Structure 1
């Protein structure tokens, strides 16, 4: 009876651990976080040079998976100096008052053959729900995670005043990330 009780206790202690998602850190040198939209009908890309991500993920246990990402909006670059000079301004990111964007997942779910991360993005004083598709490829202690989504820039107050015209600056902003992860 003692052996059976000890075995049951051991199993109960191990089960919650087995269902926990692995904690990953992203290597920023080998990872990227970017965006894409249009200006006067021409597509352009941008990147964020500084961000932090805390990711607990297991595709077999999406219910315990979570992500928390903070983006330094002052690090946005598009490669065009005039545009890069405007991004910190009040009409766009307003980095003087809102230097960071913050995304926290509320859930991960399987939808067909895709994994979808649903969460809340806070940016420039606005909080909106966001759904992102996730492709996860584990490789031992490492993994890659590719993330894609689409935001409505005006929902976050990006492009105020004269810049609200979506025929000049596109309404949709594609968000992409390629994360090289290491399990902790």
Structure 2
């Protein structure tokens, strides 16, 4: 009598464990349809910028957040805002210091459900400085198998030394910078 009970218990435990063992989906980013950028202010007026060169390794499943990951590397020399003076200054020592720090790197270490959104908790390395950065993530499945992922979060540029020297004045360039991405993803 004990053996059939143990067999039923083992089957039940296996049935419960299988959904937890389900793996998150690995995605490839459709770069030509995706953007990675930022919004900041100059003398109180907002401006937008984007990065032309970046790579993202994304594994995500909103039903199994523990198996999800973001690992994003950005070429800081590829920043563009559409303003020649600003674009010329961004790679320089007062801003990204791209000669010494040619890349920024973000790695999410945890994902938590927050209502209809997911919060990615991670670390951003920029100009040799590492600080926590939370990103709000919204997932929208699309017909045809692709998925839209919109991501945003706010960082303080001075914590990373971006806009130092004469550009440290937050009345000229605001300290808050919103990082945003609109990603079109396809399963690998």
TM-score by length of 1: 0.91
Structure-1 separation of matches of 2:165 and 2:24:
44
Secondary structure (helix, strand or coil) at the match of 1:163 reads: helix
Quote the offset at 1:18 in angstroms.
5.2
Pairwise mapping of residues 38-57 of structure 1 onto structure 2 (< 5 A)?
38-57=41-60
User: How many residue pairs end up in the alignment?
Assistant: 178
**In 1: Cα distance, 2:72 partner to 2:56 partner:** 4
Gaps of 5+ in 2: none
Q: Deviations over 1:37-77 (max 9, x none)?
A: 11111111000001000000000001111110000100000
Distance across 2 between alignment mates of 1:127 and 1:135: 25
Quick one: distance in 2 between partners of 1:57 and 1:84? 34
Deviates more, 1:124-133 or 1:111-120: 111-120
Task: Pick one of 85, 90, 93 that aligns with 2:88.
Answer: 85
Deviation (angstroms), 1:153 = 0.3
Correspondence 1:171 to 2:143:
no
2:71 pairs with 1:35: no
Distance 1:72 1:177 in 2: 15
Give 2:107's match in structure 1, choosing from 81, 100, 104.
Answer: 104
Measure the CA separation in 2 of the matches of 1:142 and 1:27. Answer: 9
Residue 157 of structure 2 corresponds to: 153
What is the CA–CA distance in structure 1 between the aligned matches of 2:107 and 2:18, rounded to whole Å? 26
Q: Which residue of 1 aligns with 2:145?
A: 141
115, 119, 123: which is aligned to 1:120?
123
Question: What SS does structure 2 have at the residue aligned with 1:85?
Answer: helix
Give the structure with higher Rg (CA): 2
Give the Cα–Cα distance (whole angstroms) in 1 for the partners of residues 137 and 20 of structure 2: 24
Task: Report the TM-score, using the length of structure 2 for normalisation.
Answer: 0.89
Q: CA deviation at 1:141?
A: 3.0
Whether the 8 Å CA contact 2:20–2:64 is kept in 1: the answer is: no
Compute the displacement of 1:111 (Å): 1.7
State the alpha-carbon separation in 2 of the partners of residues 17 and 73 from structure 1. 38
